[in-house]
């Protein structure tokens, strides 16, 4: 316990939480060895303190300590940064460069955000962990290095492995010892201590009296979830120290500095699988509906063509009853009206499709099209005239009674009414 307190004072670590003390104790115990360590925890919990503690208590403490933020280095240059490159290895490589693993030989390298490493770089890193060998970019000469690796991540490594974004074998090589840093919301007793420490530091830095929280403000401080953890708490303390004229901070004042979207103490549960699959599921459903509609339209075209080519209406209706029900529904009245409309096509004697005479093919292109249009126009007008004549005669014979006329014509009364209105009879 005395060792832990000494480490806290040396590295300015505030707090007495049991989980925090356990993490520090593991760091002290593993420091004299050369085994690799993986530090896990949310962003802003202070993971960068652990590798410093390990390095300072190891036999490598007099050698180099290099911290590398893997997420901040572009994917195209990270191999060169870590392992170095030869002159001319790529565009812009005007001279040979030593990488971090060569420079830190005999010391410690801290790989922060190791979960962001590209898969190709993970393969190179695995080789270093297994036998201490690496290749510079553009070189075929194997080099040796004696480096102790401490990595940190805020990524759920098992999820990353499942999604094939991180190599499983590399994870187990890095996490020989895993040290988990608890989030600030799990260290309730430490939150006010940290705030007071930050407030005191900023009071001295900006040469002004230290701010102090009222009792209600302290309770809000403890209930807040602190998604940004210690980093967020420090920023809030600095903002209030600089912006507030009064040094006594009320509940309302503190609340105005806390993002409202995160002020609840209830955990937010998000179904990741559902979120990723919602869009693809909706797209598949839409495609299916479109394909079904296309099929229905094709079937309807075939049905219409069959009706135009022959007068066997009852047979066509019987063979296509399921298609009619699918398109127009199962309502008996609707189906009856559709069947009556189909029957009206037979009564009105729709013409057979006009086939072009063979001699039209020998006419000039413009004359051919003109001749075909004339034939179609003549037949269309002749059909309309005959239809009007039939309706007029039927109405005259039945003394204007539409129901009787419709029965005589073999069509529905509604169809007859539509024809009368259409031809202004």
Tell me the pLDDT of the chain averaged across its residues. Answer: 82
Domain presence at residue 267: no
- 354 and 338 inside one domain: no
C-beta separation of 103 from 145 below 8 A: no
- 204 and 71 inside one domain: no
Domain presence at residue 375: yes
247-278 pLDDT, tens digit per residue, is: 999 999 999 999 874 444 545 444 555 455 55
133-160 pLDDT, tens digit per residue, is: 999 999 999 999 999 999 999 999 999 9
Domain presence at residue 268: no
DSSP codes, 157-220: HHHHHHTTSS-HHHHHHHTSEEEEPPPGGG-HHHHHHHHHHHHHHHHHHTTSPPPEE-HHHHHH
CATH of the domain at 228: 1.10.8.60
pLDDT at residue number 341: 53
**Rounded Cα distance, 75 and 293, in Å:** 46
Which tokens sit at 60?
């490598």
Candidate from 48-52, 142-146, 211-215, 376-380 with smallest mean pLDDT: 376-380
Give me the domain span that covers residue 207.
Answer: 186-262
Which tokens sit at 362?
């020998």
Backbone angles phi, psi at 175, to 5 degrees: -100, 45
pLDDT at residue number 377: 47
CATH of the domain at 410: 1.10.10
Using alpha carbons, list the distances in angstroms from residue 102 to 64, 145, 169, 375: 11, 6, 24, 90
Domain count, the chain: 4
Of 345, 369, 398, the position where a domain reaches its end is: 345
Q: How confident is the model at residue 99 (pLDDT cuts 50, 70, 90)?
A: very high
Using alpha carbons, list the distances in angstroms from residue 11 to 4, 6, 49: 11, 9, 7
160 Cβ contact list (under 8 Å, min separation 6):
115, 166
C-beta separation of 4 from 25 below 8 A: yes
Domain presence at residue 270: no
Domain presence at residue 65: yes
360: left (phi over 0), alpha (psi -120 to 50) or beta: alpha
Bridge-based pairing of strands 212-213 and 177-180 is unpaired
- 61 and 151 inside one domain: yes
pLDDT at residue number 298: 74
- 237 and 282 inside one domain: no
Domain presence at residue 289: yes
- 322 and 411 inside one domain: no
- 147 and 191 inside one domain: no
Q: How confident is the model at residue 293 (pLDDT cuts 50, 70, 90)?
A: confident
Domain presence at residue 271: no
Backbone angles phi, psi at 31, to 5 degrees: -55, -45
309-354 pLDDT, tens digit per residue, is: 565 556 556 666 666 665 555 555 454 555 555 555 444 444 444 4
- 152 and 91 inside one domain: yes
Domain presence at residue 365: yes
Q: What do you get for the CA distance between the two ends of the chain, in Å?
A: 107
For the segment 233-248, the average pLDDT, to the nearest whole number, is 95
CATH of the domain at 116: 3.40.50.300
- 361 and 378 inside one domain: yes
- 101 and 224 inside one domain: no
- 23 and 146 inside one domain: yes
- 11 and 46 inside one domain: yes
- 211 and 250 inside one domain: yes
Of 211, 238, 262, the position where a domain reaches its end is: 262
Ordered alpha helix ranges (H), 208-312? 215-223, 229-243, 251-257, 272-309
Q: How confident is the model at residue 422 (pLDDT cuts 50, 70, 90)?
A: confident
Res 62 pLDDT > 70: yes
**Rounded Cα distance, 359 and 169, in Å:** 80
Of 306, 326, 345, the position where a domain reaches its end is: 345
For the segment 188-209, the average pLDDT, to the nearest whole number, is 95
**Torsion angle, CA of 113/118/121/126, rounded to 10 degrees?**
70
């Amino acid at each position: 316990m005395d060792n832990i307190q000494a480490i806290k004072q040396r590295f300015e670590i505030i707090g007495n939480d049991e989980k925090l003390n356990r993490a520090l104790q593991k760091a002290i115990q593993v420091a004299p060895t050369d085994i690799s360590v993986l530090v896990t925890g949310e962003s802003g919990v202070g993971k960068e303190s652990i590798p410093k503690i390990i390095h300072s208590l190891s036999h490598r403490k007099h050698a180099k300590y290099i911290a590398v933020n893997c997420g901040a280095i572009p994917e195209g240059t990270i191999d060169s940064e870590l392992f170095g490159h030869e002159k001319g290895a790529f565009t812009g490589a005007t001279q040979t460069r030593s990488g971090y693993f060569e420079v830190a030989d005999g010391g410690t390298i801290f790989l922060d955000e190791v979960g962001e490493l590209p898969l190709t770089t993970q393969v190179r890193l695995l080789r270093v962990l297994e036998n201490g060998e690496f290749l510079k970019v553009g070189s075929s000469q194997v080099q040796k290095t004696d480096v102790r690796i401490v990595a940190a991540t805020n990524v759920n490594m098992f999820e990353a492995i499942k999604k094939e974004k991180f190599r499983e074998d590399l994870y187990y090589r890095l996490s020989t010892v895993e040290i988990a840093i608890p989030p600030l919301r799990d260290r309730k007793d430490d939150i006010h201590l940290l705030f007071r420490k930050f407030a005191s530091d900023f009071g001295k830095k900006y040469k002004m009296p230290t701010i102090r929280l009222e009792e209600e403000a302290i309770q809000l401080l403890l209930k807040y979830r602190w998604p940004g953890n210690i980093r967020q708490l420090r920023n809030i303390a600095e903002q209030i120290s600089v912006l507030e004229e009064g040094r006594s901070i009320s509940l309302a004042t503190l609340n105005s500095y806390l993002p409202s979207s995160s002020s609840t103490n209830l955990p937010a549960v998000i179904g990741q699988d559902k979120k990723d699959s919602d869009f693809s599921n909706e797209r598949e459903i839409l495609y299916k509906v479109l394909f079904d509609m296309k099929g229905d339209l094709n079937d309807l075209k075939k049905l219409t063509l069959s009706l135009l080519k022959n007068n066997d209406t009852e047979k066509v209706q019987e063979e296509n009853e399921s298609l009619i029900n699918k398109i127009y529904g199962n309502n008996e009245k609707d189906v009856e009206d559709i069947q009556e409309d189909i029957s009206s096509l037979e009564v009105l004697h729709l013409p057979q499709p006009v086939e072009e005479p063979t001699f039209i093919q020998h006419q000039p292109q413009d004359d051919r099209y003109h001749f075909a249009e004339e034939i179609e126009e003549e037949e269309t007008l002749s059909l309309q005239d005959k239809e009007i004549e039939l309706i007029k005669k039927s109405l005259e014979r039945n003394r204007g009674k539409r129901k009787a006329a419709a029965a005589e014509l073999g069509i529905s009364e509604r169809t007859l009414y539509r024809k009368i209105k259409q031809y202004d009879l």
